[in-house]
Structure 1
Amino acid sequence: MLTHTAYLHSAKRARLQRLRGRVGLGLVAGLSVLAGMTDAIGLLAMGDFVSFMSGNTTRLAAAISQADLALVVRLALAIVGFVVGNALGVMLVRSFKRKAWPVLLIVASLLTGAGLWPVPTALPALLTAILAMGMINAVVEQVNGLPIGLTYVTGALSRFGRGLGRWLLGERRNGWRVQLVPWTGMLLGAALGAWLQQWLGLMALIGSGALASVLALVCAFIPRAWQLGYLPR
């Protein structure tokens, strides 16, 4: 049997784990809002997805079948840019001694620069925003052992659906409901981004940059031990 002291320590660890999970999910929600917001702005202002590479892959295949060379090059660059952004995000997190807030400040700078880019030559702005969206995936990879996707929600909906199926079969596993957090964040962010784009056009990306700066400030105050649990290993 546990002694009273051991019981108190165990209860304290459980409370801290729950709190760490809630903080992590809050950060996931904020980053998903950022991803949805930026994706909607990019799609409406430039005609291409900024974080939804599944959509760009399907469009790339269609462009290849139609021999649309200009669109093939544009979408291929978008996909490569997203992959490079993910790789760069991991490298930057490591170079900053596994701190996420400097990466988010770089993301904020990239998004602000993209928002200030002249509209007639929007491809550099598109690629800059895509690079930034790839980078944010290195900020949170998991929360309390649960895999989390930030810039794509197909996996989240799939995990939620499978968890719902198990629940209906009587299995009581934890964690599947939290997959709705990134989906909800992306939905709300996309609605906000679409509204901003209607008023500001491509300059709405400056709003994405401002949100990334706020998230960087939030990350700076999250205990380092907790952040290490969110980051890629």
Structure 2
Amino acid sequence: MLPERPQGQRGPLTTLVYKRRGRVGLFFVAALSVLAGMTDAIGFLATGDFVSFMSGNTTRMAVALGDAHWALVARLALLIGAFIAGNALGVIIARLSAKRAWPLLALSAALLLGAGLWGAQAQLPALLGAIIAMGMLNAAVEEVNGLPIGLTYVTGALSRFGRGLGRWLMGERRPGWRVQLVPWSGMFGGAVLGGLLEHRYGLTALMACGGFALALAIVSLLIPRRWLRRYMAK
């Protein structure tokens, strides 16, 4: 991806396109983060395992290792491995589809729908399917107008926001740090919604996540290809 041109080197039309691409990208990020928050909350409440928050699963695995809970160590290692595989698969699909978002979102939707449908009978396979879907999701958007974005984890977003706040308090006026709250807000709101759904439907609520992912796949078709190529994995 070519670096963004400084503001002073853009004409009025280029500046307008730049701003629109940024707004559309951030709305897309917010929606994808809502999906991640929903899925993580449903999976965590239903199984006790995180679906997208691998930092939490890593800490849990380390504690289990210290306590010699080998079955739990093996389970968490499997979940983390599934997340890594999902990320790799997302990049592969993005490359093979010439950086189209809908194929990986459609496959994520299929995995989430299957997880919700079969979760009661096969909890671990359903959980693995949901985790792979969340890993794939990260390839849908990696940056917006040159700003790095995380979809299924928000520690980095909060860190970038905090550092930007510190620089702002010290008098620096670097643009873009406030947008890091977009994925955090989306994930928070999605987690609230996911918690409400899980309390009523259990792991079957993942079907709602699948439906939402399918809707986002359709929405992605409305985003100009040249913009998606800038959002997605390099």
Q: Could you state the TM-score of these two structures normalised by the residue count of structure 1?
A: 0.95
Q: Deviations over 1:20-64 (max 9, x none)?
A: 000000000000000000000000011100000000000000110
Paired residue for 2:224? 223
5 Å matches for 1:9-158?
10-158=11-159
Instruction: Measure the CA separation in 2 of the matches of 1:44 and 1:96.
Output: 34
Q: 3-state SS of the aligned residue for 1:150?
A: coil
**Is contact 2:45-2:195 (8 Å) kept?**
yes
Q: Superposed, which structure 2 residues align to 1:190-205 within 5 Å?
A: 190-205=191-206
Q: Which amino acid aligns with 2:61?
A: L
CA shift, 1:118, in A, is: 4.2
- How many angstroms does 1:232 deviate by? 1.1
Determine the C-alpha separation between the residues in 2 that align with 1:88 and 1:120: 26
Paired residues of 2:86 and 2:136 also in contact (CA < 8 A): yes
2:44 maps to a residue whose letter is: L
Paired residues, what number?
A: 226
Give, in angstroms, the shift of residue 102 of structure 1: 1.1
**Cα deviation 1:135-188 (Å, max 9, x = unaligned):** 000000000000000000000000000000000001001000000000000000
CA RMSD of aligned residues (A): 1.1
1:174 aligns with 2:140: no
The corresponding residue for 1:4 is none
Stretches (4+) displaced over 3 A: none
Contact 2:119/2:204 (8 A) holds in 1: no
Uncovered stretches (5+) of structure 1, i.e. residues with no partner: 1-6
Could you tell me which residue of structure 1 aligns to residue 3 of structure 2? none
The residue aligned with 1:3 is none
Q: Distance in 1 between matches of 2:121 and 2:68?
A: 24
SS at match of 1:152: coil
**What's the counterpart of residue 165 of structure 1?**
166
CA distance in structure 1 between the aligned counterparts of 2:121 and 2:205, rounded to whole angstroms: 16
TM-score by length of 2: 0.95
Q: Tell me the SS of whatever aligns to 1:116.
A: helix
Rounded Cα–Cα distance in structure 2 between residues aligned with 1:124 and 1:177? 38
| Superimposed CA distance per residue, residues 48-89 of structure 1 (whole angstroms, 9 cap, x where no aligned partner) | 000000000000001101111111111000000000000000
- Asked if the contact 2:51–2:134 (Cα under 8 Å) also holds between the matched residues in 1, the reply is yes
Alpha-carbon distance in 1 for matches of 2:136, 2:233: 12
